Amino acid sequence: MPAVTNASTAVPRGCTNLKLRQLMRAVAQHYDAEVGKSGLKGTQYSLLAHVVLLGPLRPVDLAAAMKVSPSTLSRNLQPLVAAGWLDVTAGEDARSRLVLATDAGKAKRLEAQRRWKTAQLALNDRLGEARVVALHAMLDDALARLAPAGGAAGG
């Protein structure tokens, strides 16, 4: 049965979760194909960029900024630390740690950022800038509506 096109009478068809996952996979593959040329996965680029822009910072604060669990962050930090792009050092006291980007990590982020921009511009061309702007607005609105009261949505 075809989807109804009149917005005032439209009825959602299919599974929103499935459609979003399919879109996310397609978008992630698009970015990973370009950002991957820098040696980073898209998720690794995002993590490295957050640390460069916000760091040095405590892992718990980084996890909150990225809206991921501390265990997910810990798992994702490991390859970047092993590659020498991030470092985890002692914090203000014996129990705390700080995540910071190394000089090599800052250089890797710049390289990957150029690749990310190429991917973003190609996506804008393929979908049309107006559609991308509308998609961002719709996603931001949906995230705000789904966020728990008094907090941000987690990931």
Domains and CATH numbers, the chain: 16-145 (1.10.10.10)
Would the CA dihedral through 34, 36, 38, 41 be positive or negative?
positive
| pLDDT given at position 4 | 53
| pLDDT given at position 154 | 47
State the pTM of this model. 0.79
| pLDDT given at position 2 | 53
96-148 confidence digits (pLDDT tens): 899 999 999 999 999 999 999 999 999 999 999 999 999 999 999 999 999 88
| pLDDT given at position 5 | 57
Coil, strand or helix at 56: coil
**Among 34, 48, 27, 29, which residue's Cα sits nearest to residue 116?**
34
| pLDDT given at position 155 | 46
Helix (H) or strand (E) holding 100: strand 97-101
Asked if residue 35 has pLDDT above 50, the reply is yes
72-92 confidence digits (pLDDT tens): 999 999 999 999 999 999 888
| pLDDT given at position 55 | 85
**Among 117, 108, 115, 114, which residue's Cα sits nearest to residue 52?**
108
